[in-house]
Amino acid sequence: MSDIPGSYNMRTNEDTNPDEDGGAESQFREDWDADTWSEGEDVPWTLLPVEGLVDAYRSVVVPELRADGESADSRPTHAWLSSHGFRGLTYALSNYHDTTFGEFYAQHLDSGESDDGYDWPVDDEETIDLCEQYLEVRADRRSWKPRTVESKRYRLGRYARAHWEATGEESLVAAVKPDADTMAHEAIGDASDAARRLDGEIGRSRLSRIIGEVDAFYDFLVGRRLAGLNPIKPIRADYTADSRAEDDGSDASNPSLDADTVRSLAGVADSTRDELVVMALCGWGLRTNEVARLRVSQFVLEGDDPTIAFDERKNGPSRVSLLFGREILEARIEELATRDDWDGWLFPSSRSESGHVARGTINDWFDSLVDEADVSVGGRKPLPKMGRRFWYDAYSDVLEEIIGEVGEIAAEQGSSGAGVVLDDYLSPERKRTMRRDGMRRRLEAAFENK
C-alpha cells in the first residue's frame, strides 16, 4: 500500500524513484490521456512531466474545486489537496520536479487575480481599472466600509459576466466611449441583453441592486467624460424590485419564490413524490428536466457530505451538494425500492421509453401544489423555475453576508479588503463551511416542518 493515502496507486512509483543524478527524468511519460482520469487515484503523478501534471490538475483537481463551490482559479491549500486525494501531486512536485506546489501554481496555473483578491470574471483591463477607480473614488468620498466596497465590486463583476455571456464582449466601456463608433441604440441593446440574462438567473430584488450599481458606475464615467452614454439608464426602470411585466404570456419578469412560499408548498406536499419535487426545485436548485431525470445512482450519500452527480449539466457544476433534504430523498428511495420493477428512476414512468417522467409532468405536479397551497408571486402563479431562483437568491445572499462579515474583520485588522482576508487567512475548507452553514440556515427556515 502507498504511504500517501488516497493519492495514487503505488504501482506507478515502482521504478521511478528519483536519484541524485535526476535519473527519474527519463521515466516520465511522453504521452498521456487526461480524458481518462476522473479522480486522483487515476493519475500516475510520478510518471508525468510538468505539462502532464498541468493537464492532470485541470482534469481532476479543478472539477473537485468547483464541486466544493470554489472558482476554478482559486488556489487550493496543501491541506485541501491532501484531504481530497491529491497528495500525489504535491509529492511528485517535491520529489520528482524539485519544486513546490506554490511555485508550480504560480508558473503554470495562476490566471492573475486583482490585487485586492477579487477574481474578476472578465479579462478586459480597461473595464477592471475603471470599475476599481469608481469603487476607490466613491469609497473615499462616501466613507464606504470595506464590506460595502466588496458587495459593490461583486455586483459589478456579476453584471460584467452577464454582459460578456450575452454579447460576447468583455468590455463594459468600449461601446460607450465619447468617440465610439457604436450607435447608442446598440449599446443600450447590449445592456438590455445582459439585464435579461441576469433576469433569467436571479430574483428581482437582487437584480435591482446589481442594475442600480451598474447605473451608478456609468453615471460616474459620464460625469468624468470617460463615457458619452449610460446604456443602463433607459432600461433601469424595467428591473426595479417591484416592477412586473404585463401578463401577456411573456417572460420578461422573472421573480423568485420567497421562503414563505416555499414553506407553503412544502406544507401541502403529502407524498414522497411531491416532497421530493419541492425539495429538488427549491432546496437543491435543480431544473425541471434535471428533476425529471433524477436517478438513485446519481446520489452519493456516504459520509457527511452527500452529493448529486451529473454526467452533463448546462451552466453548472457536475456535482451538487445536498445541504438539506436527505431524509426526504431517503424516504422516496425506500418507498420505490419496494416495487419489484423499480429500475432506479426517482420519478419513474411505465409509459415512457426513457423510463422516467417528462419535464412537463414535473411542471404539472408543481402546478397542482401551487393550487393547493393557494400561493402567488407578484400576483402571478408561481412557476417551477422560480424555485430554482429561490435557491440562487439564497446563495447570493449568503455570499454577500460572508463578504460583509470578512470585510469587518479586514477593517479591524487593517487589511486592504475582504478579498485579502478571504484568500490569505481563510482556508478553502473554512470558506466552504461558511457558505454551507449559511445555506443550511436559509433552507431550514424555508423547510422548517420538513
Contact 219, 209 (CB under 8 A): no
CB atoms within 10 A of CB 113: 16
Above 80 in pLDDT, residue 304? no
CB atoms within 10 A of CB 29: 10
> In whole numbers, what is the pLDDT of the chain averaged over residues?
79
- Summarize pLDDT for 391-407 with one digit per residue, the tens: 988 888 887 777 766 65
User: Which pTM does this prediction carry?
Assistant: 0.47
CA distance 189 to 336: 50
CA distance 86 to 67: 15
Residue 380 pairs with which residues in a beta bridge? 377
Q: How many residues does the chain have?
A: 450
Nearest to 444 by CA among 282, 331, 235, 230: 282
> To 10 degrees, what angle do helices 125-142 and 204-223 make?
90
Q: Please give the backbone phi and psi of residue 320, each rounded to the nearest 5 degrees, phi first.
A: -120, 130
Domain boundaries, the chain: 10-108, 125-239, 256-450
Q: What is the CATH number of domain 256-450?
A: 1.10.443
**Residue 294: per-residue pLDDT:** 96
163 pLDDT band, cuts 50/70/90, is very high
DSSP string computed for 267-331 = HH--SHHHHHHHIIIIIS---HHHHHT-BGGGEE-SSS--EEE-SS-TTS-SEEE--S-HHHHHH
Contact 196, 166 (CB under 8 A): yes
Above 80 in pLDDT, residue 431? no
Residue 300 pairs with which residues in a beta bridge? 307
Which of the two residues, 27 and 142, has the higher pLDDT score? 142
Contact 306, 326 (CB under 8 A): yes
Above 50 in pLDDT, residue 90? yes
Residue 377 pairs with which residues in a beta bridge? 380
Determine which helix (DSSP H) or strand (DSSP E) holds 148, and give its type and residue range.
helix 146-167
Contact 235, 193 (CB under 8 A): no
- Cβ partners under 8 Å of residue 62, min gap 6: 72
- Summarize pLDDT for 246-258 with one digit per residue, the tens: 333 334 446 789 9
In angstroms and rounded to an integer, the radius of gyration of the C-alpha atoms of the chain is 25
- Summarize pLDDT for 329-362 with one digit per residue, the tens: 999 999 999 998 899 999 999 888 889 998 888 9
Burial of 342 (0-12, 13-18, 19+ CB in 10 A): middle
Contact 146, 411 (CB under 8 A): yes
